[in-house]
Amino acid sequence: MRNINENTITPAVLASLAGCPDPRLLEVLSALVRHMHDFAREVRLTEAEWMAGIEFLTATGQKCDGKRQEFILLSDTLGLSTLNVALNHAKGSQATEATVFGPFHVPGAPEFELGDDISGGAAGEPLFVQATVRGPKGEPIANAKVDVWQADAEGFYDVQRAELSAAQGRGVLRTDASGRLWFRGVMPVAYPIPTDGPVGRMLNATARHPWRPAHVHFMIVAPGYETLITHVFSDGDRYLDSDAVFGVRSSLIGDFVRHPPGKAPDGSEQSTHFHVLDFDFVLELVVQTSRQGDARII
């Protein structure tokens, strides 16, 4: 393994992996090496560009902490997250489509009762969400765990506000015996993804805008069903066709109907305009793939 040149380097690295005991690791790493080497050959990568790439990835890692995930943001803005969702959640069934997870989910969000206000005092016009969670045959899914998170009327998630010591605009609820879910939040607005890090520099350098259309995030978990990670987007938003992270799907656009002050769906009197969103989620049954590659429902 001497005198390696630009063509012999790839088989040399692949040969060094030959003893890898994990077949999937071998497959993934070998493909990564092949594609990475082909990429460097294709663009004739200069040493300065190689170093700029190293510095960019270093800065991306340094921007990450418990509340900020710059690598997910990078994956999102380069379309890798949406590609990954597409590869793993093929459209074609009646199930609600999945979309990107994003960097603002926080595990262990506060638990709420149906009908509660999850806004935690966040600014915004009130939003009343009325949803159902069902299986593929229309069967209601009782006691599904529904994790909800959303930005406030200024386009910030609670984790982006250093002054907050408690959660805002996020919570965990459980569907009732009929698979119904209802809660109160605030009307989401379009917002820019964080641009104060390397990803922002990349967007700037490529003349891209950072905006996402208004949406509410949902993660729905129920035994026997595939976990659904998705958003519901607000119809009419100006960024539906240019989402900075490529996450919009037509089937995920909901009507956040704006009402004048008056009686809200929960019977409360609202002194400001308020919004009502009705949306029905459908979960897929868990499919287990056997070692022979055939799939069956478990």
Residues that bind ligand BEZ (CB under 6 A): 73, 76, 100, 102-104, 193, 212, 245
CB of 235 to ligand BEZ, least distance (A): 17
End-to-end Cα, the chain, rounded Å: 49
CB of residue 198 to ligand BEZ, shortest distance in Å? 14
- The DSSP code for 225 is B
What 3-state DSSP class applies to 170?
A: strand
Q: How far is the CB of 203 from ligand BEZ (least distance, A)?
A: 11
Residue whose CB is nearest to ligand BEZ in the complex, by number: 102
Give the nearer residue to ligand BEZ in terms of CB position, either 61 or 261: 61
The rounded distance, in Å, linking the Cα atoms of 140 and 13 is 53
Q: Which is nearer to ligand BEZ, 73 or 133 (CB)?
A: 73
Q: What separation in angstroms does the CA of 158 have from each of 1, 152, 172?
A: 54, 8, 15
Residue 118 Cβ vs ligand BEZ, minimum distance, rounded to whole Å? 16
Q: Which helix (H) or strand (E) holds 27?
A: helix 23-43
How big is the chain, counted in residues? 298
Nearer to ligand BEZ, 131 or 248 (CB): 248
Backbone φ and ψ of 131, nearest 5°:
-135, 165
8 A C-beta contact, residue 153 and residue 119: no
**Toward ligand BEZ, which CB reaches closer, 73 or 95?**
73
CB of 84 to ligand BEZ, least distance (A): 13
Minimum separation from the CB atom of position 218 to ligand BEZ (A): 12
Measured distance CA(297)–CA(116) in Å, rounded: 35
Q: Which is nearer to ligand BEZ, 179 or 243 (CB)?
A: 243
Q: Is 15 helix (H, G, I), strand (E, B) or coil?
A: helix
What pairing do the DSSP bridges indicate for beta strands 253-254 and 228-234? parallel
If you ran DSSP here, which 8-state letter would residue 111 be given?
Answer: B
Phi, psi dihedral angles at 11 (to 5 degrees): -60, -30
DSSP code for 117: B
* Residue 113 C-beta: closest distance to ligand BEZ, Å: 25
Q: Which is nearer to ligand BEZ, 61 or 262 (CB)?
A: 61
Backbone phi and psi for residue 171, each to the nearest 5 degrees, phi listed first: 180, 165
Nearer to ligand BEZ, 98 or 193 (CB): 193
